[in-house]
Amino acid sequence: MEKFFEKLDSSLRNNSIIKMTLSKPVSKNSELRNIYVKPILLKNNKMYQFTYRYERRDETKNFDATQTMEQVRGLVPEMFQNVSLFTLMEDVTLLVSKKGKPTLMCKKVQENREQDFSHDHEKLRLIDPTNPWWHLLGLTTRDGKVTADMQHKYKQICKYVEIVDGVMRQTKFDDDIHIADMGAGKGYLTFALYEYLTTHYDKKIVMEGVEIRPELVAKINNIIDTCNITRSDAIHCIANGTIRFIEGSIESYKPSKLDVLIALHACDTATDDAILKGIRNNAKLIICAPCCHKQIRREMERSGKTDAITRYGIFLERQAVMITDAIRALVLEYCGYKTQVMEFIEIDNTPKNVLLVGRKTDKLVDKEAVAAQIKALMEQYGIEEHYLWRNLWRNSANGL
């Protein structure tokens, strides 16, 4: 144990720390999962940033070298059993058993390493929390600091923007991009994406948030007007775009142009309505995070067809989720979209973590083969109809 602290003290004295992680809490009930430590420059002074990672939030504190040593001595082994220390010269790992026996492992570094003195929050700042709309939306304080109870939401927003940006950069757009956010709710993700795209894309962004609740629509449009977001003479304007919320359902929405359709956690068949809206309007990109797969589960239960997996209720639920989204992906392929399924956010944050992406292509599709796959899946699990597949053909001679 003391050998580890000697190495830590030495690395603090010669300024060679790259990073350090304290993990494996002694208490299984501890909300604090781990602590990440890295060197930073704060007003030209070398400090060490401690990021305390709780189950649903992060907290950061900065300490000098002496305080860092005191902090780690107070945390190991009383609160954490594992420490990984990475320096310019070697990797040091301390493992403490349940009985308190320490094991120290050291490995010399062969490659050249560099230290990163930037602040972690600077890397994550895909949106600027000091913009006034974030306070009016309830994400930040008046001085632009993310509130403690919204830290988790802020991380989700940043991750969402990062993923959508990655998807959009693989798609070719005209000089203006028309985006519809279906079921936009309180507007966090709508504002975040709009702010990011208008800041980082050299194109005009036309964003419409579609929401059925009139009180939310009125509130968000009032925030847009209050902040003068689209006025060129406003301090916080975003001049190369427009944003507006529209009251209505997915079915009633009639866009003049639609390049990107987004539907996050639209409940049950509302996700299908959103996908169909994107297909009918020839959207270049369809991005959905499906939610509540009740329709297919009812079909499977009604058929009475079970196997070694679906005979168990919880597995039946999961199988219904996979079948529903698999057919949605196949329907998009049938309609000329290249489909991709990815994880939206960490699975320990929410079970609704699947992102279904469809990107329009000019590639010829073997529609008979895709339709055969859809029908085979439905027959295997006794599904008479899939809401999206059925409505794709309704009032249409060719399904498009």
Q: Which of the residue ranges 12-16, 43-47, 92-96 would you say has the lowest mean pLDDT? A: 43-47
Burial label, 285 (beta-carbon count in 10 A; 0-12, 13-18, 19+) = buried
Residues composing the chain: 400
Residue 93 to residues 3, 88, 173, Cα–Cα distance (Å): 11, 14, 49
200 against 49, higher pLDDT = 49
Most confident of 18-22, 41-45, 165-169: 18-22
Say what the pLDDT of residue 160 is: 87
Say what the pLDDT of residue 317 is: 74
Whether 69 has a pLDDT exceeding 70, the answer reads yes
Cβ–Cβ contacts within 10 Å for residue 255, how many? 18
Whether 310 has a pLDDT exceeding 60, the answer reads yes
- Exposure of 258 in the CB half-sphere (CA atoms within 13 A): 25
Most confident of 12-26, 43-57, 98-112, 150-164: 12-26
Mean pLDDT, the chain, rounded, equals: 86
> Domains in the chain, ordered, with CATH?
2-122 (no CATH), 124-393 (3.40.50.150)
CA nearest neighbour of 194 among 245, 156, 249: 245
Task: Show the DSSP H helices in the chain as ranges.
Answer: 2-13, 65-75, 120-124, 132-136, 151-168, 188-200, 214-226, 270-280, 294-303, 313-334, 367-380, 387-393
Provide the pLDDT confidence category of residue 120 given band limits of 50, 70 and 90.
low
Write out pLDDT tens, residues 226-279: 887 754 333 344 546 899 999 999 999 999 999 999 998 777 688 889 999 999
Whether 395 has a pLDDT exceeding 70, the answer reads no
- Start-to-end CA distance of the chain, whole Å, equals 68
Provide the pLDDT confidence category of residue 349 given band limits of 50, 70 and 90.
very low
Q: At what angle do helices 188-200 and 151-168 cross, to 10 degrees?
A: 50
Whether 39 has a pLDDT exceeding 90, the answer reads yes
| Two structure tokens written together for 141 | 């304080």
Provide the pLDDT confidence category of residue 306 given band limits of 50, 70 and 90.
low
